[in-house]
Amino acid sequence: MTAKIVEIFHSLQGEGLYVGEPMTFVRFLGCNLFCSYCDTLYARDEKRAADMTADQVLAAVALSAKPGQFVSLTGGEPLLWTDFCAELIPKLRTKGLKTYLETNGTMVKEMARLDGLADVVAMDIKPPSDCGQDLWRAHREFLALIKDRAFVKIVITSTIQPAEVERAVELVAEAGPAIPLVLQPAAGDLAPDMGLARKYLARASERLSDVRIVSQMHKVWQVR
């Protein structure tokens, strides 16, 4: 079995709950969504991808990852390659490595097939204003599967609607008020008013025990 891998590299986690932690990133080809703020459009370019077996990925990861560190399975959307991930994750564990799965939280059946293999699931919530689709039901079902090992991230843009943020908070609170929620301000033309972002933080903190504003730090550090 092979998967199309765009790149494998070692760096610092640049966003979310684990920002600053050393990780080795395995970026898979392709995504099932088109989001307005996507910064990895190159992950859709098949010319940049190589067919690799799980053993080849493991060997590449082992060049930089140390036991106890996370390996981030990212994309694109790694759950497009669920069977491959199901083969790769146990192999990573044999090397003492933990798995950090970055996902848009929409592929419920695929996540169920992994049967809790990932150590951490970093799930995005994608509101209609940013991805053009109503994904609330899929997000609710996805959260129900992963709530014991998840944190949730929502990108706050200048176009996001307050009702969308409220609904995202509601979904997380239903799954478990202790699930961490990261509000990630978009950059560039889509950057939000930070006063409004702080209001979202305050409102969310009324229902959730761990809410944070965390920007994409890898862009500040100028690393991948």
pLDDT tens string 175-220: 999 999 999 999 999 999 999 999 999 999 999 999 999 999 888 8
Are the beta carbons of 24 and 65 closer than 8 angstroms? yes
Exposure string for 171-191, b = 16+ CB within 10 A, e = fewer:
bbbebeeebbbbbbbbeeebe
Residue 46 main-chain phi, psi, to 5 deg: -65, -25
Q: What is the pLDDT of residue 218?
A: 84
- Say what percent of the chain tops pLDDT 70: 100
List residues bridging with 211 in a β-sheet.
181
Are the beta carbons of 175 and 205 closer than 8 angstroms? no
List residues bridging with 27 in a β-sheet.
7, 74
CATH of the domain at 196: 3.20.20.70
| pTM summary value | 0.96
Average pLDDT, the chain: 96
How many structural domains comprise the chain? 1
How many other C-beta atoms are found inside a 10 Å radius of the C-beta of residue 132?
13
What's the pLDDT band for 23 if we cut at 50, 70, 90?
A: very high
Q: What is the pLDDT of residue 47?
A: 95
Domain boundaries, position 17: 2-221
- Say what percent of the chain tops pLDDT 90: 94
- Mean pLDDT of the region 85-101: 98
In this structure, what is the dihedral angle of CA atoms 132, 135, 136, 137, given to the nearest 10 degrees? Answer: 150
